[in-house]
Structure 1
Amino acid sequence: MLLWVSVLVLAPISGQFAPVSKPVISLQPPWTVIFEGQAVTLTCHVAEDKKWYRWYLGTKILREIPSNTLQVQDSGEYKCEIQGSPQSDGVSLTFSPAELILQAPSSVFEGDSLTLTCQEKPGLSLKTRTLYKNDNKLIDLGKKSSFHINHAGLKDNGEYRCFGSETHGRAFSSDAVRIQIQVPVSRPVLTLSPPGPRAVEGDRLMLSCQAQRGSPRILYQFYRGDVPLGSSSAPSAGGDSFSVTLTAEHSGTYFCTADNGFGPQRSDPKSLSVTVPASRPVLTLRAPRTRAVVGDMVELRCEAQRGSPPILYRFYHEDVILGSNWAPSGGGVSLNLSLTAEHSGNYACEADNGLGAQHSEETSLSVTVPVSHPVLTLRVPRAQAVVGDVVELRCEAQSGSPPIRYRFYHEDVTLGSNSAPSGGGASFNLSLTAERSGNYSCEADNGLGAQRSKTVLLSVTVPASRPVLTLRTPGTRAMVGDMVELRCEAQSGSPPILYRFYHEDIILGSSSAPSGGGVSFNLSLTAERSGNYSCEADNGLGAQRSEAVTLSVTGLTGSRSGPVATGVAGGLLSVAGLVVMALLLYCRLPRRAGGRLTSDPARSPSDSDSQEPTYYNVPGWLELQPVDSNVNPKAGDVMYSEVRIQQGNRHAAASNSAFGLLRTYLPSHGPATSQQPSRPRPSSVIYSQVKVASPPVSTAPRS
């Protein structure tokens, strides 16, 4: 009985993992070992008929024909293919010249029936046939040619050989035929190492696939999803392994297949989550403007480009934690920060998903602080600022980011500016003049708005200049009894100024000018008042002395007193006439220019009340005519008589003029000046010339 050889081809696998189907070759007769001279018909089976079939013997194209059958008589491995499909599995045929052949199927499935046939060459008649397995006699077939096994199993694997003998005693032996019972693989089991559903990127993952049953050779294939990772072949039962270095992309579902030519078997799937450690995060600072300013809201953004969620982010300022936030689904997180001056410095963030925290690079943030109102300080070398001093104007803002530009002002007029590149304050030196008194201020500006200081008042003290002394006398010549005014005035100098008056370096008195200007000092002259006069101006910055002014006081001499007394005695006889004349002149004298009474315009009414009036002797007085015409004024001095008229009793005044109200003066070089300790108001004075009656001109020296 002929046994049909089944050629095993991988059956299509249902689903997305089914390989592309291959053609299948069948044999007729179904033996792989055939006597020489016989022919074997090969049939290429496909799912649908094709027009062209290509046949191979070994690796060379044997035929390309429109038929799916081919008859061959040569030993070798045959394959077929059609357009668009892979080649079929090879079928090996052996055409033997032997006399005896053991014919058996090339492969038998476990549980199938197995028939071994001991076939002799045509024309040869065998008397006995014996079957051997692994060189051991298995069964004596006698005249039968076949041995049948109903349920083949793994125990039936081995090498079989057939022996036969003719009637005449000639013996024959077939070639050995190896029988391999094909056991389909069982469903394999996939094992992942390290165990568990989580693994870390960078770990070495070992995938093991093992089928408990299945005839070798078994092909194991490993898959992640629908992507094949690799395959290996096991020559015997026991399973195989596949290793891979894990990356984030290796997360997913894994399974394996086992195939020994009877259809692949698929394992149960295994899920694997590859945990990726957080990568080094990147910190980004987002400010609303180019420069971060106090009060701005800045966003700190921290993000790791890789890392399995959830990721915990922490934010740091100079290694001090500012806050933290979770990213449950990965990505980055933000932290908002309202800036103060203290927020300048280095910032960093940290990403941690439980596999080791990763620290970002540091990012520097400079928070620009607007300048505060500056403080202006004036530094002078002494308690008072004096003309010529160099004053330092120091302007400083207590807070503000550098660089800071400082400007200095005097009464809103810019004096100059200076910069503080590293912060702090700046100074400006100013040489003082009298015009530098006034209000000073400064301004600080770092580009975020200028701030002005409070004003500082500076009073520049001007030293008193050298004063000028002026002496004002009632007449052209200073006479004993005159009231002279000493006027001292410095043209420049800060008040108050204290003036001192000196006669031959002896202080006469002093007076103050609270508002500046000059002051006066009145002095009643005596004969001792002749000499050098000066004054001094002092406002605390050094006294200044005027130039000396020489005053010569002219007064009566002792040698003149005798003749005058004589003349007066002689003139008493004519007092009555003089009085009458005086009364007559009383009405006319105020109208005469030469007889007008004049006071010092510089003196106040209070001075007039407290002092005797000063009278200026003017040329108009020369118009007065002598009372006694026989007296020659040119021959000697002129004697003046003063007559006072008091209100209320003119007759008494006239009568009393001879007893004390009549005063006679004998001036040497000019008109006389009259002083009266007390006088009723108003009063009038009449002057009359009296000629010297008797002696010739005195030779006594003038005082």
Structure 2
Amino acid sequence: MLLWALLVIFAPASEQADWLTLMVPSSVFEGDNILLKCKGKDDSKIKTMTYYKNGIKVLSLKHVSSFSIYSAALSDSGNYYCSATLTTWRRNKHTSKTVEIKVQELFPRPVLTASSSLPLEGSPVTLTCKTQLPPQKLHVQLHFCIFRDHQTLWSGWSSSAELQIPAVWSEDSGSYMCEAETVTPRIRKQSLQSQIHVQRIPVSNVSLEIQATGGRVIEGGKLVLLCSVAKGTGNITFSWHREDPETSLGRKTQRSLSAELEIPSVKGRDSGEYYCRASNGHGAVQSKVVNILVHIPVSRPLFTLGAPGAQAMVGDVVELHCEALRGSPPILYRFYHKDVTLGNSSAPTGGGVAFNLSLTAAHSGNYSCEADNGLGAQRSEVVSLSISGPGGYGGKLLTVRVAGGLFGALGFAAVALLFYSCSRKISGESSAIEAFRGASSPNPEEGTPPSPLLALEEQQPVYVNVHSVGVDVIYSQVCSIQQPHSPANIKRALLENKDSPVIYSSVKKS
């Protein structure tokens, strides 16, 4: 009996191991469930069962049962075996052979790649989170996420491993990484960090352009100052200046190659030298200076008449002066008499101009002037001028010249004789004259020539031949007649101009 017991105790190890077998899957990937099953030749005799990993007890059971590892990880790899105690007295413990379980990666750690690690500002960049599933697991679905400085660049996970950035800027520089994970079971892996440095292009060739309605900067109009750069990336800060570099008219920061500053209503005092500056962090670059001249429309001119006395006389020379107190030169002045142009004169540097006029009786009336510098003409107020004839009589004296030997000695004697005859008032000799006067006067008793104070254009010369009284001399009387306005005017005219008729004579040749 003792001999049999010793034979069982010292039985070969292989025979003991063959009595108990540990069964495991042939291949295991991350996320798989691993089922370990320990089976003996006669499970009914097994009293307890224990599982080991790398020689360390993992699980002990009082009955026959399998051991499961859910969602296996790489750390679950190792050497596994099991042991069982029996209910028989002959030999109460058996141990299985050791089985190695190697959990394989479902996919390797992803690698984040960029189309350029030193991209220029404004250029596109493609980021790719690269990894690979094994042929046995191509059906597994992966999701991806990309981060910059631990901030996600997506709103969530995406089935695409690529992220296309249309344009990168200096603020996009930083540390990038990505993650890949399975949907079920959840296995997530993170890439190493990658540095991306976005290169900035400094600004260059800064220019200032003036934009104004009609191409001219006019007081009260809108002025736009456009500042542009030929090159430069990222956020560019534009500033506008007038003469004083420390004082800024305005400042704008934007991601563009140009910016504009608008002055809604420019003033005359805004004339001066302007320039702009641009900077994107590599030092400010200044444009060339642009001289802006604000053109001022002329104001309503002041018009004066420089008469030599209280009342101008025929033959006097008067000075017509016109001046616009505001307005950009050159200014063209025009002088008007009764809306008819008398002449014009230019003031190249501004100020006023004068125009000299030698007066005739026809120059009576209204005068004005006009100033124009191409931005709109302005007309002055009207000034009236009254002109008196020589000797103080208003209007213009009519002179009739008779050709031939009017001033001969014989003619002179005939004129004297005629005056003598008229003074006698012989009714037969003066009937024609009296008849003419009566026809031209409302009152026959007051039929006298009109006053030269009336307007020249209303006077009409009338020639009347006096009977020859039987001699070879012809007498003519010249009268200036107009329609009087009232008997009172006729009477006053008679008092002022009693000798207005002029009598000429000529000798009738036989």
TM-score norm. by structure 2 comes to 0.49
TM-score norm. by structure 1 comes to 0.37
**Structure with more helix by fraction:** 2
Whichever of the two has the greater Rg, that structure is: 1
Q: Which has the higher contact order (CA 8 A, sep 6+)?
A: 2
